[in-house]
């Protein structure tokens, strides 16, 4: 018997592997094309909202995630210059009561490994490394993907999960380079014994200031401590793995409270990345080719939803394919129609939150007054639409 043409996925990050796992669970043959020599994930910690844990439950991955995640008791914001508490939202049982799912944090590499292990356990997933997609063409029968080494692969569809600088997006949307936000992030991870007790916090704690902020929280069941410092800068470097300038970092946080400066001083080497996004678009599909995750809707990290929205994409894509009885082009249209407004809202709201975190002058005073009044801080009231998430059982009915 002839094996059906596989669904081809360009990119073996969290979004690409999530899509592979979802589609393989539905019985599709899937080939993941990762351009690097090995599957892996660069980066530090990421936050996982209740909407993402809802996806884990649907995918049967909750236990695997819980083994490597950390569940902070609260989410807080302090003023980086005065040290005053701006807001603290209790998590734990409060998040569970509000949404039915917890709020957690996880090492990016650990989440990637959960999906990689899940894919490896599926006999209908083919994981290929050193497979860089150079171009593709398509007709009514399928797609052909041309790899850098000269190989040509046939598939029934191509899913571009190849990130912010997506080559697939270039061909489908053609909107040029990403939008540079003017913010850069320095990230580092410390071992628990490198963090003095008076600087450790189990909360996700953000120190917000004029054009700067520092966020920190534990990782890997509390064995590690994740730090991300963000400030406005005109520096630009494409990538996630560039070494940061410690002198510039210290200069930007020179007016910070002592505990913030002490924490920053614990880091000898920082990795830097430039924060970029794109304008939301309504159409990211072309017949048998579509985009997923950062390739479709890259967003600034201020809502901590990049990985979560990619996982939601994967679940919706799977449901769309189930609903169209094999009509791939129709399924890809249904998928993007179900996703573009939600992901666009996250993209735009993330920009707004960047302004809130980095406020100065009257904007800063207003932010502090609103949050400290308690009227704006009842749980996650302003983000309920996001954390409620999507209901996988009721897609396309």
pLDDT reported for residue 1:
45
Integer-rounded Cα radius of gyration of the chain: 21
The answer on pLDDT for 183 being more than 80 is yes
| Residue 376 predicted with pLDDT over 90 | no
Q: Write the Ramachandran bin of 127: left for phi over 0, alpha for psi from -120 to 50, otherwise beta.
A: beta
Per-residue pLDDT at 26: 95
> What is residue 238's predicted lDDT score, i.e. its pLDDT?
53
d(CA 272, CA 278): 20
Q: Does the pLDDT of residue 334 top 60, yes or no?
A: yes
Among 264, 183, 271, which Cα is nearest to 216's? 264
Instruction: Assess whether pLDDT exceeds 60 at residue 166.
Output: yes
Tokens encoding 85: 């508490």
Query: Rounded mean pLDDT of 348-362?
Result: 85
Encode pLDDT of 53-68 as tens digits: 999 999 999 999 999 9
Q: What is the pLDDT of residue 375?
A: 57
Cβ–Cβ < 8 Å for 116, 109: no
Please give the pLDDT value at position 290. Answer: 98
Q: Give the pLDDT band (50/70/90) at residue 379.
A: very low
**How confident is the model at residue 248, as a pLDDT?**
85
State the Cα–Cα distance between residues 389 and 394, nearest whole angstrom: 12
Q: Are 253 and 264 in contact (CB under 8 A)?
A: yes
CA atoms within 13 A on the CB side of 96: 6
One-character DSSP codes across 264-324: HHT-S--EEEEEEE----S--EETTEEE-GGGT----GGGS-HHHHHHHHHHHHHHHHHHT
Q: What is the DSSP letter of 70?
A: B
CB within 8 Å of 174: residues ≥ 6 apart: none
pTM to 2 decimal places: 0.93
Asked if 330 and 317 touch (Cβ cutoff 8 Å), the reply is no
* Average pLDDT in the chain: 91
21 given a catalytic annotation = no
- Which pLDDT score, from 0 to 100, does residue 124 have? 97
Residue 378: pLDDT over 50: no
- Cα–Cα distance between 141 and 128 in angstroms, integer? 23
pLDDT at 182: 84
Asked whether the beta carbons of 33 and 10 are under 8 A apart, the reply is yes
Condensed to tens digits (0 to 9), the pLDDT of residues 273-318 reads: 888 999 999 999 999 999 999 999 999 998 999 999 999 999 999 9
Predicted local confidence at residue 268, as pLDDT: 84
Phi, psi torsion values for 72, nearest 5 degrees: -70, 145
The pLDDT value recorded for residue 324 is: 95
- Summarize pLDDT for 79-91 with one digit per residue, the tens: 999 999 988 989 9
Looking at residue 238, the DSSP 8-state letter turns out to be S
The active-site residue out of 21, 99, 103, 217 is 217
CATH class entry, domain 7-177+285-388 = alpha beta
Q: Which helix (H) or strand (E) holds 258?
A: helix 258-265
Q: Taking a C-beta distance cutoff of 8 angstroms, is the pair 152, 140 a contact? A: no
Which residue has better confidence, 210 or 103? 103
To the question of domain 179-277 being in CATH 3.30.200.20, the answer is no
Domain range annotation of the chain: 7-177+285-388, 179-277
Distance, C-alpha 227 to centroid of its chain:
17
pLDDT at position 101 is 96
C-alpha 246: how far from chain center? 26
């Amino acid at each position: 018997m002839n094996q059906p043409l596989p669904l081809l996925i360009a990119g073996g990050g969290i979004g690409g592997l999530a899509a592979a796992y979802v589609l393989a669970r539905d019985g599709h043959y899937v080939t993941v094309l990762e351009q690097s020599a090995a599957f892996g994930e660069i980066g530090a910690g990421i936050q996982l909202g209740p909407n993402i844990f809802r996806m884990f439950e649907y995918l049967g991955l909750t236990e695997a995630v819980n083994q490597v995640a950390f569940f902070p008791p609260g989410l807080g914001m302090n003023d980086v210059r005065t040290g005053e508490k701006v807001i603290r939202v209790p998590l734990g049982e409060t998040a569970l009561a509000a949404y039915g799912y917890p709020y957690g944090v996880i090492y990016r590499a650990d989440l990637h490994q959960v999906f990689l292990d899940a894919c490896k356990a599926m006999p209908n997933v083919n994981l290929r490394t050193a497979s860089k997609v150079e171009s593709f063409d398509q007709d009514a029968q399928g797609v052909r993907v041309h790899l850098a080494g000269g190989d040509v692969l046939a598939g029934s569809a191509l899913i571009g999960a190849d990130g912010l600088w997506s080559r697939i997006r270039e061909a489908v949307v053609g909107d040029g380079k990403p939008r540079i936000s003017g913010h850069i992030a320095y990230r580092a991870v410390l071992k628990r014994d490198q963090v003095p007790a008076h600087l450790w916090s189990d909360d996700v704690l953000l120190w917000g200031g004029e054009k700067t902020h520092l966020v920190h929280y534990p990782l890997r069941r509390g064995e590690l401590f994740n730090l991300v410092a963000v400030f406005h800068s005109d520096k630009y470097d494409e990538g996630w793995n560039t070494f940061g300038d410690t002198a510039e970092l210290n200069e930007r946080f020179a007016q910070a409270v002592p505990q913030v400066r002490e924490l920053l001083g614990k880091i000898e080497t920082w990795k830097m990345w430039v924060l970029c996004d794109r304008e939301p678009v309504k159409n990211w599909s072309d017949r048998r080719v579509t985009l997923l995750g950062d390739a479709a809707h890259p967003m600034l990290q201020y809502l901590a939803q990049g990985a979560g929205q990619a996982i939601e994409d994967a679940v919706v894509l799977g449901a769309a394919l189930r609903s169209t009885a094999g009509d791939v082009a129709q399924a890809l249209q249904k998928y993007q129609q179900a996703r573009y407004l939600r992901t666009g809202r996250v993209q735009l709201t993330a920009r707004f939150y960047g302004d809130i975190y980095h406020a100065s002058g009257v904007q800063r005073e207003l932010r502090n007054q609103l949050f400290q009044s308690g009227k704006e801080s009842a749980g996650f009231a302003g983000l309920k639409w996001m954390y409620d998430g999507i209901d996988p059982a009721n897609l396309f009915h």
